[in-house]
Chain A
Amino acid sequence: MKLRTMVWREIFERKNQLGTSFLAILLGISVIVSIKNITHYSEKAVARELDALGANILILPKSASLQDYYSADLQQEVFPEEYVERLTNSDLQGLDNLSPKLSMPFTIDGKQFTLTGILPKNEFQAKLAWQSAGIFARPEGCGTVVAIPGQDAEPAKETLSRKRVIETIGEAEMLVGADMAVSLRISEGDSVSVGGASFAVTAVLPQTGTVDDSRAFAHLHTVQRLAGKDSVLNAIEVVGCCNAISDGLVQKINKLLPEARVVTISQIVDTQIKTNRMMSRLSMLFLVIIVLVGGASIANYMYANVFERRREIGTLMALGAGSAVVLRLFLLKALLLGCVGGLAGFIIGTVTAVILGPRIAGVPVFPMPILLVWAFGISVAILLIASYFPARRAARLDPVSALQEV
């Protein structure tokens, strides 16, 4: 027999009294695990959505109307390209990607399309100041998605369709949207002429389901020339870090570019992030509640347990148990209960999250082993701390007062 055996026996013998206080801890841990689990996947989902949408901030001319996010840059109004420099030379944090654009309508075979001029990434990188500003170093876990396997195979196309950023594009090259390619029967390697200029089609972009499908992309400076405009833009698309956005990135950009209009994909950024924030706060609140209520309840139970067992404690002391043994007896009980509470709380919380996650947050939720560490840590810590003083009281009991025969 080990001290542990005694502890288990006692727990099972008197499990009814343990009931409510242990349940408080168990439920608390379950709720925390479950909220944390759902929040994690919900945050991931937000990040994925943002990433799929590409830019999450648009800088437009002041007078621009904004009906559809995706066609927001198809405006007549323009602003100077110099805005880009202002942004990159500023000390704004959380600007992940800048994509300056100028669009112009054009017709081929009587069909209307849009030619959008973009600045390829290699031209950004050529400008040293930008690079050192860290524009292209996207911070980990900041509005980014985990790499989706298989999607790296064709980086240029995928990146453009997903983030509207492209590595390289020559002055006479063109990328063609999926719908446009179909309707004009264009394929890679063909050449297309727009407004007298001839372009080589370097890629046909995958279907995106947005207006991008009937666009062609070419080099910004070529499009500026074709449009007869000089160093102007319709829009700058910005991929901003979601946290930076909620920390007022938009307002900061607004301040920097007072003559421009800055908008975000507000419904996604705001509602989803607000929900996630609320969930994190809720889990903090629960943590505080279970630490206080659960802890107090466990402490109360432990004091009662010590009082109830004082004859047993006295007997053990009469048999030669020192205070260390008695202290261990009660702390071991706390430890065992803490482990059981942590494990059970993790299981219940995870099952709840996996079942309820899709309904509450609309995202698929999977078990997160790291939360087991959390659950164990919280549960064991609460039980040990709450039990310490009762256990110490037991250890300091006077053997005889514990044995007082009636």
Chain B
Amino acid sequence: MLRMHSVTKSYNHRGKRVLALDDVTMDIPAGDFVSIVGPSGSGKSTFLLMLGGMLSPAEGKVVVDGQSVYDLSSDKRAALRKKKIGFVFQTFNLIPYLTALENVQIPFLLAGVDGDEQRTNAASLLERLGLGDRLDHKPSELSVGQQQRVALARMLANDPAIVLADEPTGNLDPDTGRAILAFFEEIHREGRTVVMVTHDHTAAARAKRVLRLLDGKIVNGGE
């Protein structure tokens, strides 16, 4: 379960305070599928990073499965991410000098899985995403849609209970976008909690619940 309690976060931008999240309180039960919508600059990415234990709030608490995330040390938070959380970034953040297979091996490496098992596990994840014939390609040798799928395979590598995705369809053509959405529905059916930031209303509509952010506030918590 994910919970935010009175969370406030502001950035300092050229000496001016920019309020990115303004006293946000909300709950996401385990197994939920939530879309976060809102105009650009409304705080969606900030919200998602904070849920994922990547960005500490100025005030308030973020609780994951009963644990107050920002009361942990940064290494403990990293361990929590390794165990429970899968991130998908808008820009994929693949490691440019590693192949598709090696990029997907990273979470296994971090988990201390040995080399052979790393490769078989990573290869089967890439196959699941239809990239079985692109294992040895570097990110620069892949199309944007393929890069996104490598990122999704890597996100699944630690078998996360919580999946946090920042505009996963933002950079894709409509067909690929639909395939990616189907993928999120599929992993949601596997029992994972999915929180997905999106611009796209049809995409948002596929979720069980839509949260709308405006100027750092949640303006509707409805279904």
Contact = CB atoms under 8 A, between A and B. Distances in A.
Interface of A: 1-3, 5-6, 9-10, 12-14, 311-312, 314-325, 399-400, 403, 405
A337 to B, nearest CB: 16
B124 interface: no
Interface in B49-102: 49, 52, 54-55, 74-75, 78-79, 81-83, 85, 87, 89-91, 93, 95-98, 102
Given A319-B82, A403-B93, A1 B115 contact: yes
Interface string B18-61: 00000000000000000000000000010001001011000000
Contact of A400 (B49, B75, B119): B49
A314 B53 CA distance: 12
Q: Which 8 interchain pairs have the tightest Cβ spacing?
A: A320-B82, A13-B97, A322-B75, A400-B55, A315-B93, A322-B78, A320-B81, A1-B105
Contact of A320 (B107, B118, B119): B107
B105 to A, nearest CB: 5
A10 B90 contact: no
Contacts of A12: 97
Most chain A Cβ neighbours within 10 Å, of B74, B79, B105, B154: B74
Contacts of A320: 78-79, 81-83, 85, 107, 110-111, 158
Contact of B54 (A3, A312, A324, A400): A400
Contacts of A2: 109, 115
Contacts of A1: 102, 105-106, 109, 115, 118-119
Contacts of B87: 318-319
B78 A321 contact: yes
B95 A319 contact: no
Contacts of B83: 320
Contacts of B93: 311-312, 314-315, 318, 403
Nearest to B111: A320
Contacts of A316: 106, 110
Interface SS of chain A:
helix
B81 A10 contact: no
A311 B111 CA distance: 21
Contact of A322 (B79, B102, B107, B118): B79
Contacts of A14: 97
A10 B107 CA distance: 18
Nearest to B90: A405
Given A1-B115, A322-B79, A405 B45 contact: yes
7 contacts: A3-B109, A316-B106, A320-B107, A321-B110, A322-B78, A322-B79, A403-B54
Contacts of B95: 6, 312, 315
A101 B211 CA distance: 110
Contacts of A5: 102
Contacts of A311: 93
Contacts of B119: 1
A394 to B, nearest CB: 13
B14 to A, nearest CB: 15
Nearest to A325: B110
A405 B110 contact: no
A3 to B, nearest CB: 7
Given A3-B109, A400-B55, A405 B158 contact: no
Contacts of B75: 322-324
Nearest to A326: B78
A321 B97 CA distance: 18
Nearest to B92: A315
Contacts of A318: 52, 54, 81, 87, 89, 93
Contact of A319 (B97, B106, B115, B118): B106
Nearest to A316: B106
B114 to A, nearest CB: 10
A241 B93 CA distance: 68
A13 B95 CA distance: 11
A317 B78 contact: yes
B38 to A, nearest CB: 16
Nearest to A396: B74
A317 B74 CA distance: 10
B115 to A, nearest CB: 6
Contacts of B118: 1
Contacts of B78: 317, 320-323, 399
Contacts of A321: 78, 82, 110
A400 B115 CA distance: 29
A304 to B, nearest CB: 16
B7 to A, nearest CB: 15
Given A315-B93, A318-B87, A319-B81, 12 more contacts: A9-B97, A13-B96, A312-B95, A317-B78, A318-B52, A319-B82, A319-B110, A320-B107, A322-B78, A399-B55, A403-B49, A405-B166
